[in-house]
Amino acid sequence: MAYENPEAERFNALVWEIVRQVPEGKVTTYGFIASMIPPPRGVAANDYARLGPRWVGDAMNAVSGIDEPTVPWHRVINARGGISLPEGSKAARLQRQRLEAEGIVFGPKNTCDLKKVGWEGPDAAWLEARGLLQPQPRKKPDENSGQLPLF
DNA sequence: CGTTTGACTACGC
DNA sequence: CGCGTAGCCAAAC
C-alpha cells in the first residue's frame, strides 16, 4: 500500500521472509522486524526508525491478498504486546484466536508479555546470508545490570 | 486536487 | 504508567 517505489517489492519480500521464521507460540513486533532490514536508499536512519514499523504493517496488510497461507502474520503485534488491527474487527478476532491457540496469553489490557513470548530473532548466519541486520532492542540497555533487555 | 487515514513508535506530561 | 501528539509515506476519499 504505502511505500510504493522500486524497492517496495523487495522490502515486502524481506518482511514476509522474516515473518516466516517466527516459530509457533512466539510473537514479534513491527519495529523489531523493521530493525533487521537495512533502510532503503535515500531514507535517513532516524526517519527509518519511525517509518519502518509502518511499512512492516503495510506489508502485513498486503499479505492478505498475496501470500496469506505461508506467512504467519498473526504473530506480528505492536510494541505494547497488543493487536493493532481495529478492535472488534473480524481480522482482529482471528488474530487473537490463532495466537491463543498457540498458547499466547493476553492480560487484562489485551496485551501479552513480550519478555515471555517475544521472539528473539533469527540466528546471525541466517541474517547475514540475506544481508540483514541484527535485530535491535527497542529499549536502551540497563547499564547497571549490563543485560540485554530485548523489548 | 486537498484531506483524511492507517496492522506504528517515540516522547512528553 | 496511561494518554495525547508529532512525524512520515501513500492510497483512498
> What CATH number does domain A8-129 carry, 1.10.20.140, 3.40.50.720, 3.40.720.10, 1.10.10.10?
1.10.10.10
Phi/psi for A41 (5° steps) reads -55, 135
pLDDT at A141 over 70: no
The pLDDT score that the predictor gives to residue A146 is: 58
Q: With a 7 Å cutoff on the CB, does A20 touch strand B?
A: no
Per-residue pLDDT tens for A10-50? Answer: 888 999 999 999 999 999 999 999 999 998 877 888 788 88
Bridge partners (DSSP) listed for residue A29: A77
Q: What is the pLDDT of residues A52-106, one digit of tens each?
A: 999 999 899 888 765 678 999 999 999 999 999 988 888 899 999 999 999 999 9
pLDDT value at residue A41: 77
Lookup: cell for A36: 533487521
Query: pLDDT at position A143, please?
Result: 57
User: Is the shortest CB-to-strand distance from A111 to strand B under 7 Å?
Assistant: no
Query: Sorting pLDDT into bands at 50, 70 and 90, what band is A145?
Result: low
Under DSSP, the state recorded for A37 is S
Please give the pLDDT value at position A104. Answer: 96
A98 is near strand B: CB distance < 7 Å? no
- Note the CA–C1' distance, A129 to C4, in angstroms: 42
User: How far from A3 is each of A24, A30, A45, A117, A139, CA to CA, in Å?
Assistant: 29, 15, 16, 30, 27
- State the maximum Cα–Cα separation within chain A, in Å, rounded to a whole number: 47
pLDDT at residue A14 in the model: 92
Q: What is the mean pLDDT of residues A102-130?
A: 94
Specify the pLDDT at position A50.
Answer: 85
Task: List chain B nucleotides near protein: any atom < 7 Å from a Cβ.
Answer: 6-10
The Cβ of residue A29 has, within 10 Å, a number of other Cβ atoms equal to 23
Question: How many residues are there in chain A?
Answer: 151
For chain A, the structural domain boundaries read 8-129
Between the CA of A62 and the C1' of C4, what is the distance in angstroms?
29
> What gap in Å lies between CA A10 and CA A27, rounded to an integer?
23
